[in-house]
Structure 1
Amino acid sequence: MKTSLFSQRKGWAVLVALIFLFTGCHSDRSGSDNTPSVARQWNEALLAAIRVDLARPTVHSRNLFHTSMAMYDAWAVFDGVASTYLLGKTVDGYYCAFNSTNVPFGENKESVRREAISFAAYRLLTHRFKNSPSVSLTQAAFNALLANLGYNAAITTTDYTSGSAAALGNYTAQCVIAYGLQDGANEQRFYVNNAYRPVNDPLAPTSPGNPDIIDLNRWQPLSLASFIDQSGNTLPGSALEFLGAEWGRVSPFALTAVDRTI
C-alpha cells in the first residue's frame, strides 16, 4: 500500500492545521469559555487521523466510540454521581478491575481530570493508528497535542494508585484496548472477515457484460488493477473485501440484540 501525492499533501495540511490549533489552545488550560475542552481537542485529533487513514467507516465508528468511552471514564471517576462505562465493570464478558478509592484527586480536580482524559485518549489513539498509512502524520499530531497541553508522553505507568492522573489515563486506555481485542471486531487480524466469502466472482469492469454472475441479489466485488480510496491511499489491485461483513458480531454500544444481524 502506498499513499498518493494528493493524500500526502492533504495529510500535511491536516497536520499543520492541528499543530496550529493545539499551539493556540495551549495558552489557556484554565478551562475558560474560549478554550476548547481537552475532550474536544482529542476528538478533533481523532477526526483528523480518520481523514488520512484508510476509508473504513465500521472501524472508525468503533474508534470514535472507544475514544469517547475512554475519555468519559477518565472524566466520570472524578464525579460523585456519574457511573463509569468500563472501569470497575464487566462489559460483554470483559472485566476491567478498578479501585475508585485510589483515584488521584489532588488539589485541583479539574486539572487532574484533564490530564487523565488526555493520557487515556493519547494512548488509545496511538495504539489504534499505529498501522495507519499516515502514521507519521497522525502520531506527530498526537504528540504535539499532548506536549502542548503540557504533558509528558514518557509517563507510561498504569499504577494509578500512586496518585498519578497520567497513570489513571494510561490504565483506562489499557482497559479499553484489552476490551477491544475481544469485542468481535478481529482487530488482531486487521479487521478482516473470518468466514465471509462473496457468492459472486469479482467483476472486471474493463470486460463487457457480466457473464459469470451467480446471484444478482448478492454483492459482487470489483476487480481493478489498483484502487484509490476516499483518503487518497493507493491500494493494491485484485478485489477488495466486503467491509464489515461480520460486524454483527461486534459488541455494540446502542444496538440491542434484536437490532443486530449477521
Structure 2
Amino acid sequence: MPVHRFLSALTLALVTVAALALTALPARAGGPNVVVRWNQALLQAVRGGTLGPPLVARALAIVHTCAYDAWAAYDAVASGTRLGGSLRRPAAEHTEADKAEAISYAAHLAAVDLYPAQRAVFDALMADLGYDPADASGVPAGVGVTACRAVLDHRHADGSNQPGGYADTTGYAPVNGPVVVAEPTAGIAAPGRWAPLTYANRAGVVVTPPFMAPHWGGVASFSGAARALADRVPAPYAYGSSGFRAQAAEIVSVTAALTERQKAIAEYWADGPSSETPPGHWCLFAQQVSARDRHGVDEDVKLFFALANAVMDAGIASWEVKRDHDSARPITAIRHLYQGRQIPTWGGRTVEGAAWVPYQPSWFPTPPFAEYVSGHSTFSAAAAEVLRRFTGADTFGGQAVVAQGSSLVEPGVTPTQDVTLRWSTFSAAADEAGLSRRYGGIHFRAGDLQGRALGRAVGTAAWDRAKSHWTGRG
C-alpha cells in the first residue's frame, strides 16, 4: 500500500475540536495577501489529501520556495534557491502587481504538481486573483513558471520518490509482526523495536498501516544540515533498562490521571488524518502572525519560505532518527512490560497490561512509524524557532478553544465545558505540542525532549540558510 494512501479512510476534522484565534487580532484592510492565500489553498488540499506529516512538510516547502524564487526576481538583492539572480527584473518592474502574478503562477504550478487531484482548488484561486493558469504569456507569469520549474526539477530527484508515489526505496521491513490492538498482546519478538498495528479504521475497515516513509531521512534537506543534526541525537533508552522502565511507568501513570485540560491538549494537537498535520498547524499560526503584524507580500513570502523549509528539514531529521533506532511505541512496549498485571488507565478504568491502549481514538491508535524521536516535537520546535527569529521576539499571544463534548476519544463526554488553551510565546506552544504526545500516550519523555532539541537546531540551520537567500548571500 503506498505510504500516502493509508490515511484515506480516516477523517479527523480538528476544526470541530478547536477553533484557532488570536486575542485582540487587528483587522487588515483587503484581507490576506497573495502569499497567505496560497498557503490557505494548500492547507485546504492537505486536509483533503492523503499525505502524511513529513510529506506535507515537503509540499509546503516546495510551494513556498517556488513562490519565494519567483518573488526574488522582483527584489533588489534576494537570490533564488535554484537560479540565483538570473531572473532578476528591472527595478521599474518591482511592483506589487508583478510580484503577485509571478508568485501565483509559481505557486499554482507547484501545488498542482504536488496535489493533482486538488487542482480545482488551485484553479479557483487563480481565477479569483484574476489569472488564467493556462496563459503564462505575461512576463511575471513566465518568471514564476521558470523559477518553479527549476525547483520542481530539483525536488523530483531529491530522494522522496515523489514520481513513484513516495514508496519506500530502502527495502525496510519491520522485525515484528503486526500487533492486533483489539486483542491482548501475548508476546512481541523484539519488544524494543517498532511493530505495525492492526485495527479497524474509522470506516470500519481492518487495516495494518506500514511504516510511513522509512526512506525519508534520505531526502535532500534545505539547509543541508538535517542529517548531520540527526546523527548527533543520542540513542534512546535501551528496552528493559531502568530509564526505559521509568518512562514507560510515567506514561501509564500520566494517562491514567489525565485532567480534562490535559485531554484537551492531547486532542487539540493530535493533527491526525484529514487535518493540516503538524507542519500545517504551524502555518495557521504564521497566518495569524501575518495578520497580527500587518505583513505585506515581502514579509510573508520570506516568513513562509523560512518556516516551510524548516518544517521540511524537521521531517527529514526526525525520520532519519526514527529509522535509525526503529524504536517501539508505548502501546507495544507497555503491553509487553506489563502483561499479566492489572494497571490503571484513562477513564478511571483498570486493564490487563497486555491490553493497554493510549488516549487516542480507537480508529487511529498510534501513527505508523517509530517512536524516537517525536515528529510533533521536532516540527513544532523548528517552526517556533523560525517564528521567534523572524518576528524578533518569542511573543505569540495565541489561543484555541476546545469545545465541550468535542472529544474523539470520549465523544460527548470530554470536556465537560469549553477549554481554552493559551500560549504567550511560540516556545510555549511548541513545548505544549511535544507534551501533548505524552498525554496522548504515544511518545515517551525522551522522544519528546530530544525531538524538541533537534527541532530547535534544525530551525536555526534553516533560518540561517533562508535569510542568506533574501539578503543576497545565498
How does the TM-score come out when normalised to structure 1?
A: 0.70
8 Å Cα contact 2:8-2:50 kept in structure 1: no
CA shift, 1:72, in A, is 0.7
Q: 1:42 aligns with which of 35, 38, 41?
A: 38
Q: Distance in 2 between matches of 1:176 and 1:47?
A: 20
- 1:244 is displaced (CA, Å) by 2.7
Task: For 1:182 and 1:235, locate their aligned partners in 2 and report how far apart those are by CA, in whole Å.
Answer: 37
C-alpha distance in structure 1 between counterparts of 2:181 and 2:73, whole Å:
55
Aligned to 2:22: none
Residue pair 2:76, 2:91 contacting (<8 A) in 1 also: no
Structure 1 residue 3, shift from structure 2 partner: 6.2
Q: Which residue of 1 aligns with 2:119?
A: 139
Match 2:132 to one of 127, 140, 152? 152
Consecutive unaligned residues of structure 2, counting only runs of 5 or more, are 16-27, 231-319, 325-474
TM-score by length of structure 2 reads 0.41
CA distance in 2, matches of 1:259, 1:179: 22
Structure 1 residue 143: Cα displacement: 1.0
More helix by share: 2
- The equivalent residue for 1:181 is 156
SS in 1 for 2:201: strand
Aligned mates of 1:100, 1:209 — CA distance in 2: 60
Displacement of 1:256 in angstroms is 3.9
Pairs within 5 Å for 1:242-257: 242-254=211-223, 255-257=225-227
* 1:75 and 2:75 aligned: no
Q: How far, CA to CA, are the matches of 1:106 and 1:218 in structure 2?
A: 60
Kindly provide the amino acid, as one letter, of the partner of residue 62 in structure 1: R
Equivalences for 1:7-22 in 2 at 5 Å?
A: none
Letter in 1 for 2:174: P
Number of residue pairs the alignment of both structures matches: 212
Q: Does 1:122 align with 2:108?
A: yes
> Does the 8 A contact of 1:201 with 1:221 survive in 2?
yes
Aligned-residue RMSD, C-alpha: 2.9
Structure 2 counterparts to residues 1-262 of structure 1, below 5 A: 33-54=29-50, 56-88=52-84, 99-100=86-87, 103=89, 109-130=95-116, 135=117, 138-155=118-135, 164-194=139-169, 195-211=171-187, 213-224=188-199, 227-228=201-202, 237-254=206-223, 255-260=225-230, 261=320, 262=324
Structure 1, unpaired ranges of 5+:
14-31, 89-97, 158-162, 229-233
State how far apart, in whole Å, the 2-side matches of 1:259 and 1:51 are: 30
Deviation readout 1:44-92 (Å, 9 max, x if unpaired): 111111112125001000111111111111111111111212224xxxx
Q: What's the % identity of the aligned pairs?
A: 31
Deviation track 1:202-248 (CA, whole Å, cap 9, x = no partner) reads 1123443233x221111111124x534xxxxx697542121132211
Q: Distance in 2 between matches of 1:47 and 1:166?
A: 23
Q: Distance in 2 between matches of 1:4 and 1:251?
A: 30
1:214 partner amino acid: A
Q: Tell me which structure has the larger Cα radius of gyration.
A: 2
Q: Deviations over 1:87-109 (max 9, x none)?
A: 24xxxxxxxxx7336x4777563
